[in-house]
């Protein structure tokens, strides 16, 4: 189970500063599942997932997302710090309060993880995701490649950094903007961000950098704080930046 709070300074992914809308969200996420060990080094995990987000101001973005995932993980040999592979598929129904955004989300991913000595650990991940929303402007297909590194901090926690490059659809909402309109694959009114707001579907490449720290609290819980900076570059010189701060508390049974 996980509960947290997140602040996003550009929720509508607007290009121009005056058009940007920020907000804070409270979130809750949980998963429960069953792990089936396959031989000494492999396992399959079936999970039911649930996620909810509740925004302070932009209530149209509030959502609950029940879903499911299946993953297969295999270690290359017996041991604690040995390389591993994981293949996973996940799906969730994203039940936004805003009807236009409501839809199904699918993701497939493959991960490889390894360790350096007793301390650092690394993960590289490739993923492909699809979102089919009620309105085509919120449909998204995207592929991503990410790299994560983690270092322990004196036994009480860990410092981590993530870089992700993602190529695919993004939804950007702003007052009518001819430059964005010229590049948009889809567009539609988006009252979630105001009566004059238009949502555009663009193809963009985004670069996402995260730095975080997490700390074990007892034997079952941990707390985490993450800073994130994302820059998306779309055709026609259209780009936007997003900064996020997230804090969360995780409890594992």
Partner 1 sequence: MRSSVRPLRPAVLALCLLVTPPGAIGSAGAATLAVTVRDQSAHPVADAVIVAVPLQGIPRPKGERPKEVIDQIDKAFVPRVKVIQVGTSISFPNKDNIRHHVYSFSQAKKFELPLYKGLPAGPVVFDKPGVVVLGCNIHDWMIAYVYVVESPWFGKSERAGEVRIVDLPAGEYDVEAYHPRARDAAEPVRSRVTIGAAEPAAIELQITLRPAARSSRPPKGAEGEYP
| Residue 29 sits in the site that holds partner 1 (CB under 8 A) | yes
CB contact at 8 A, 51 and 92: yes
- Residue 79 near partner 1 by CB under 8 A: yes
Closest CB 214 distance from partner 1, rounded Å: 4
Which of residues 32, 56, 136, 152 is near partner 1 by CB under 8 A? Answer: 152
Residues 184-213 that bind partner 1 (CB under 8 A): none
Token pair of 151 as six digits: 């270092």
Tell me how many degrees the CA angle 210-53-7 measures, rounded to the nearest 5: 40
Q: Which two tokens stand for residue 29?
A: 């996420």
* Binding of residue 150 to partner 1 (CB under 8 A): yes
Among residues 100 and 162, whose Cβ is nearest to partner 1?
A: 162
d(CA 23, CA 12): 10
- CA nearest neighbour of 250 among 227, 212, 226, 223: 223
Q: Which residues are paired to 133 by β-bridges?
A: 103
CB of 173 to partner 1, least distance (A): 19
| The binder of partner 1 chosen from 32, 76, 156, 182 (CB under 8 A) | 156
Which of residues 9 and 51 has its CB atom nearest to partner 1 in the complex? 51
Q: Which of 11, 58, 92, 162 binds partner 1 (CB under 8 A)?
A: 162
Q: Taking CA 34 as the corner, what is the angle to CA 28 and CA 40, rounded to the nearest 5 degrees?
A: 130
Nearest residue (CB) to partner 1, 7 versus 139? 7
Q: How many residues bind partner 1 (CB under 8 A)?
A: 44
Distance of CA 237 to the CA centre of its chain: 25
For 179, residues 6+ apart whose C-beta sits below 8 A from its C-beta are: 15, 236, 237, 238
Q: Which stretch binds partner 1 (CB under 8 A): 13-21, 79-87, 135-143, 169-177?
A: 79-87
Work out whether 178 is an interface residue with partner 1 (CB under 8 A). no
Choices 118-126, 130-138, 181-189, 199-207; region in contact with partner 1 by CB under 8 A: 118-126
Of 111, 114, 126, 125, which is closest to residue 150 (Cα–Cα)?
A: 114
% helix, strand, coil for the chain, step of 5:
10, 70, 20
List the Cα angle 157/160/162 in 5-degree steps: 160
Stretch in the footprint of partner 1 (CB under 8 A) among 95-103, 135-143, 175-183, 217-225: 217-225
Looking only at the bridges linking them, the beta strands covering 84-96 and 63-75 are antiparallel
Q: Would you tell me which residues interact with partner 1 (CB under 8 A)?
A: 2, 4, 6, 25, 27, 29, 35, 37, 40-41, 43, 51, 53, 75, 78-81, 111, 118-119, 123, 125, 148, 150, 152-158, 162, 214-216, 219-220, 222, 224, 246, 248, 250, 252
């Amino acid at each position: 189970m996980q509960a947290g709070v997140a602040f996003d300074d550009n929720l509508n992914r607007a290009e121009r500063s005056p058009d940007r809308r920020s907000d804070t969200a409270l979130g809750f996420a949980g998963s429960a599942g069953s792990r089936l060990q396959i031989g000494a080094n492999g396992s399959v995990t079936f999970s039911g997932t649930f996620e909810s987000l509740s925004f302070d101001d932009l209530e149209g973005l509030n959502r609950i997302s029940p879903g499911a995932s299946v993953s297969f993980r295999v270690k290359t040999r017996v041991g604690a710090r040995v390389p591993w592979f994981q293949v996973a598929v996940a799906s969730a129904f994203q039940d936004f309060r805003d009807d236009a955004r409501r839809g199904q989300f699918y993701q497939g991913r493959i991960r490889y993880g390894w360790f350096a000595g007793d301390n650092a650990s690394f993960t590289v991940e490739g993923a492909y995701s699809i979102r089919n929303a009620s309105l085509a402007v919120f449909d998204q297909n995207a592929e991503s490649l990410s790299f994560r590194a983690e270092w322990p901090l004196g036994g009480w926690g860990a410092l981590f950094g993530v870089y992700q490059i993602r190529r695919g659809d993004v939804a950007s909402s702003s007052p009518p903007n001819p430059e964005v309109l010229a590049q948009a694959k889809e567009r539609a009114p988006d009252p979630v961000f105001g009566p004059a707001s238009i949502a555009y579907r663009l193809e963009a490449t985004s670069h996402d950098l995260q730095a975080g720290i997490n700390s074990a609290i007892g034997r079952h819980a941990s707390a985490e704080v993450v800073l994130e900076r994302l820059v998306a570059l779309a055709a026609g010189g259209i780009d936007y930046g997003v900064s996020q701060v997230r804090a969360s508390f995780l409890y594992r049974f």
